[in-house]
Amino acid sequence: MKEWFLSKISVLMHSLVFIFLCVFFERRFIENLHLPDYLIDQAIISYLKDHAVFQIPYWYAGVPLLIAGICLIVFKRRTRGWALFGGAGLLIGLLVINRINYYFFSTLIPLSSFVYVGQAYGVKESIIDILSWSDVMIFVPFVFLSLTYAGIHKQGNDSLSTGTSNFIFDKALGILFCLVGIYALNLAFYLPSRDVILDPLEKKMYIGTASGAVVTHKSSPLYVSSDVNFAKVFGLFSFYTMELQEILATDVAKPEPEALAVAKKVFKDIERLNQIDSPFYGAARNRNLIMIALESFHPSVIALTVGGVEITPTLNRLIDASLYWSWAVDQIKYGGSADAEFAICTGLFPSRDISTPLLVNRLKPIQALPAVFNQMGYHTISFHGNTASFWRRGVNHPVYGFQHLYFKDQFSATDTFGMGVSDKAFFSEVADALLSKKENYFAYLITLSNHHPFIDIPADYESVYQKIRTGLSEDASELATYLTLVRYTDDALGIFMNKMETGGGLDNAMVVLFGDHRPPLSDASWLSLESVSQLPLKGLGEHRVPVMITIPGMEESVHTYRKQYCKSIVSVNDLYPTICHLMGETPSNKILGVHFFVPSALRGPIFFNKSYNLVYFNEGVPYYGGNGHRVTETSYQYLLDETSRRALFDVDPKVETNTKKAVETLQIMEWIFNNNIHHDIE
Do 217 and 611 meet the contact criterion of CB atoms below 8 Å apart? yes
* The predicted structure's pLDDT at residue 142: 63
Report d(CA 544, CA 528) in Å as an integer. 17
- Strand pairing category for 204-207 and 613-618: unpaired
Report d(CA 398, CA 395) in Å as an integer. 6
Report d(CA 493, CA 424) in Å as an integer. 8
* The predicted structure's pLDDT at residue 275: 95
pTM over 0.85: no
3-class DSSP state of 178: helix
List own/partner pairs for 320-323 with CB under 8 A and 24 or more apart: 321/550, 321/552, 321/555, 321/558, 322/548, 322/549, 322/550, 322/558, 323/280, 323/548, 323/549, 323/550, 323/551, 323/558, 323/562, 323/565, 323/566, 323/596
* The predicted structure's pLDDT at residue 72: 83
Segments making up each domain of the chain, as ranges: 2-192, 290-598
State the DSSP string of 353-369.
SS-GGGTGGGGTTS--H
Q: Which amino acid is at 488?
A: Y
Tell whether the model's pLDDT for residue 634 goes beyond 60: no
pLDDT in tens, 336-372: 888 899 999 999 888 766 667 777 776 666 789 999 9
Q: Which of 298, 6, 295, 356 is nearest to 157 (CA)?
A: 6
Q: Minimum mean pLDDT among 222-236, 439-453, 469-483: which range? A: 222-236
Report d(CA 222, CA 226) in Å as an integer. 9
Alpha helices in 320-365 (DSSP H): 337-346
Tell whether the model's pLDDT for residue 674 goes beyond 50: yes
Report d(CA 191, CA 222) in Å as an integer. 8
Give whole-number Cα distances, 625 to 356, 557, 659, in Å.
Answer: 26, 36, 7
The CATH number that domain 290-598 falls under is 3.40.720.10
Report d(CA 267, CA 284) in Å as an integer. 25
Region 664-681: mean pLDDT is 58
Residue 146 — pLDDT band, cuts 50, 70, 90?
low
pLDDT in tens, 175-215: 888 888 888 777 666 555 443 333 333 333 333 222 222 32
pLDDT in tens, 87-124: 877 888 888 877 777 766 667 777 766 655 555 555 55
Q: What is the DSSP letter of 211?
A: S
* The predicted structure's pLDDT at residue 213: 28
* The predicted structure's pLDDT at residue 163: 59
Q: Which amino acid is at 28?
A: R
The CB density around residue 32, as the number of other CB atoms within 10 Å, is: 9
Per DSSP, which regions of 173-321 are E strands? 196-199, 204-207, 288-294, 305-306, 309-310
294-332: b (≥16 Cβ within 10 Å) or e: bbbbbbbbbebebbebebbbbbeebbebbbbbbbbbbbb
Residues ≥6 apart with Cβ < 8 Å to 309:
464, 467, 468, 471, 483, 487
Report d(CA 173, CA 168) in Å as an integer. 8
